Structure 1
């Protein structure tokens, strides 16, 4: 099968509240309307919002509800993410569930949005999965994408489509759209970037093809984004270049140099002068200091 139908759900959800019933309605509606739908992708932390107090062990109740939802609708379901508790640590974790209602993989966000996503531990494994007869998918969450090495690592492992749930409600969303396009072009992959909307985030989800071309960019309201991944196309782009042009993955494979940032100590580099990773302080002087 060369093509695979995905729906990204950019939903108006409520922070610090159980949104599962809203998500359930939209998933059921999407499958009922589009019988050919193969996969649904949710936004980061869609179920409860950015609230670590909702962290659960996995398997757990929230994940199990998604397993049942995937089974009932015969789809692959990407949960966006949930906060996962393991002993005394909390991770930002995305689960991928198959049409049989089975969890086939979990990915723990490698780059929590520090210093703001405080108290969340970093994962340490890149996660890809194969759908037999279809292709290879990689998982990335929100801030991960700001580090080009993360998408390159997934493509190095064979990923042809990057599923990228995000939760952005800040002015840098436009920058993220550029990063999505650049990541797709430099790695010759699809980028499926699904943001939340409403109270939780600013929307503007984006789907990008392996030449960096925009397949669809959402506005700020709730939207079901249905599109078709063409695996023959992405493989042709990787072999011949987009529009017969650059072949960056082959050039990276055949590189003749070693990048210094990967074999030298970062503590000894110019980056050591940047100071600690912490929230910026106020620049307004107290009146008593004047």
Structure 2
């Protein structure tokens, strides 16, 4: 599908006040829409500080107060809205969940973080989401008149197979709300974003909270978008900001034509290889 559209990545300064976070998000969504964004995306845990001790305290059902804010923002600004993520309470479990809305405010996708962030880098960081969160078990993509879009949350970006499945199913843009930290951020944030874009010859966008040096978990920031050529086409530093990127769908076809490594081509080659073994 040829054409172009504007994506806005809201690098939100998240505080301990849920009501303030929601009001701030609504204001920045409106600002992004006023500057021509067709799709607006928020960061991981946009309504809550990020941390295992916070998830139970801030968790709420869907629908709930936070998603009501998203419904209204999508309708009032006539946009597609990727609602970052919130701690979701459901059936006695807590999930890290992203909801997506169309310009009518209808819920069109719901992604629960599949790969939980359980890491231990001695002397630097230990974090175990599984202490309080449960994993999702579905991949999530949604259709717009613009293109098909796949959703992952933070640690999901490390799993190349997930992005490949999205590409195989026709996604032209992958959006990962995330909150990399001061250890993994400088080492891997841009690298992984570029790798997933280059692997699958599509656009990849990552949306972080703004950095708060006084928080118990300090986010890296640097919300970014990468083209199917693997080039960082839009980015920012660590303060609150809105990153705008004009997605050129024609570039995807152009790159895939110039360097043919599409999912279908790879599958065809693998099938030929298997037949030779027989």
- TM class by smaller structure: 0.7 to 0.9
1:253 matched to 2:267? yes
Residue 164 of structure 1, CA deviation: 0.8
- Specify the alignment match of 1:183 in structure 2: 196
Change over 3 Å in CA distance of 1:257–1:74 after alignment to 2: same
Contact 1:136 1:161 in 2 (8 A): yes
- Specify the alignment match of 2:123 in structure 1: none
Residue 251 of structure 1, CA deviation: 3.5
- Specify the alignment match of 1:49 in structure 2: 49
TM-score (norm 2): 0.85
The 5 A counterparts of 1:12-27 are 12-15=13-16, 17-18=18-19, 19-27=21-29
In 2, the alpha carbon distance for the partners of 1:54 and 1:222 equals 22
In 1, the alpha carbon distance for the partners of 2:11 and 2:76 equals 21
The 5 A counterparts of 1:1-290 are 2-15=3-16, 17-18=18-19, 19-32=21-34, 34=35, 36-50=36-50, 51-52=54-55, 53-114=57-118, 116-117=128-129, 118-132=131-145, 134-174=146-186, 175-199=188-212, 201-238=219-256, 240=257, 244-256=258-270
Taking only aligned residues, the RMSD between alpha carbons, in angstroms, comes to 1.9
Q: Tell me the secondary structure at the aligned position of residue 37 of structure 1.
A: coil
Per-residue CA deviations over 1:260-283 (Å, capped at 9, x if unaligned) read xxxxxxxxxxxxxxxxxxxxxxxx
Q: Tell me the secondary structure at the aligned position of residue 237 of structure 1.
A: helix
In 2, the alpha carbon distance for the partners of 1:258 and 1:128 equals 30
What is the aligned length?
A: 252
In 2, the alpha carbon distance for the partners of 1:204 and 1:142 equals 13
Residue 237 of structure 1, CA deviation: 2.2
Query: Which segment drifts farther, 44-53 or 64-73?
Result: 44-53
In 2, the alpha carbon distance for the partners of 1:144 and 1:251 equals 25
Q: Which runs of 5+ in 2 are unaligned?
A: 120-127, 213-217, 274-278
Per-residue CA deviations over 1:22-47 (Å, capped at 9, x if unaligned) read 11121122223x1x221111110011
Q: Tell me the secondary structure at the aligned position of residue 118 of structure 2.
A: coil
Q: Which runs of 5+ in 1 are unaligned?
A: 260-290
Residue 8 of structure 1, CA deviation: 0.4
- Specify the alignment match of 2:276 in structure 1: none
In 1, the alpha carbon distance for the partners of 2:22 and 2:29 equals 10
